[in-house]
Amino acid sequence: MTLMGRARQAWERISLYLPVVLMGLMALSTWWLVRNAPKPLRPAQVVAPTHEPDYFMRGFSVKSFDASGRLQSEIRGDVARHYPDTDTLEIDKAHMRSMAPDGRVTVATANRALTNSDGSEVQLFGNAVVTREPLKRPGREPLPRLQFKGEFLHAWLNSERVSSNQPVTLTRGNDQFTADSMDYDNLDQIMRMRGRVRGSLIPPAR
């Protein structure tokens, strides 16, 4: 066999194994790339919010309006602190005013208040007072002034509920009641007073 023929035979043998060799080289190069490629950055750990205020407001007044531009509520205070973990607002020297669609006005004041994000739930601490102003209703009996006083009051403005697990004084018109704790639901017209309950009823003037 001539030298040229041997060379051709050898090349034919090599060509049979060439695809296998190439595949092996590709696998080897892929493994090398994977091993030596820079490792992906680990995602930054999400830090859970702590009970620390993320912003303050001083000498503030916040008002909300409905779609027609009617004033719905107003919150004023000396200092407000927002806590992101609970999405609550703590207010020093709080003064809140809410106007219902039928004209009823409710005012809440306290040394300190804690309210949720939309202001529908409020806890009042220290000299807490919630007052529903009297309302005249054409063709119907007017609503008398209704006031709650205590060191702690928990009010749900949308559902018109007020409760307290501490002594409270309720004044409705000229009538006055005191109790060790209380739950009041204005929509259902239900009052629950517990503990030492005392009342003073003044008959209406004729």
Q: Could you read off the pLDDT of 10-40 as tens digits, one per residue? A: 445 544 444 444 444 444 444 444 444 455 5
Phi, psi values for residue 194, rounded to 5°: -125, 165
Q: Looking up tokens 């009996």, which residue turns up?
A: 141
Q: Is 80 left (phi over 0), alpha (psi -120 to 50) or beta?
A: beta
Position 69 scores a pLDDT of: 83
pLDDT class of 43 with cuts at 50, 70, 90: low
Q: Which residues contact 136 (CB under 8 A, 6 or more apart)?
A: 142
Q: How far is CA 19 from the centre of its chain?
A: 66
Position 18 scores a pLDDT of: 43
Q: Model confidence over 52-88: pLDDT tens digits?
A: 888 888 998 888 888 888 888 888 999 999 898 888 8
Position 26 scores a pLDDT of: 47
Scanning the chain, the segments in alpha helix (DSSP H) are 3-36
Quick one: tokens of 136?
A: 């005249």
Single-letter amino acid, residue 54: D
Lowest mean pLDDT among 15-24, 80-89, 99-108, 152-161: 15-24
Position 16 scores a pLDDT of: 45
Q: Tell me how far apart the alpha carbons of residues 77 and 68 are, in angstroms, rounded to a whole number.
A: 26
Q: What is the mean pLDDT of the chain?
A: 78
CATH 3.90.1200.10, domain 55-200, yes or no: no
Position 7 scores a pLDDT of: 44
Position 70 scores a pLDDT of: 84
**Which regions of 1-145 does DSSP assign to beta strands (E)?**
55-65, 71-83, 88-99, 105-115, 121-132
Record the pTM.
Answer: 0.68
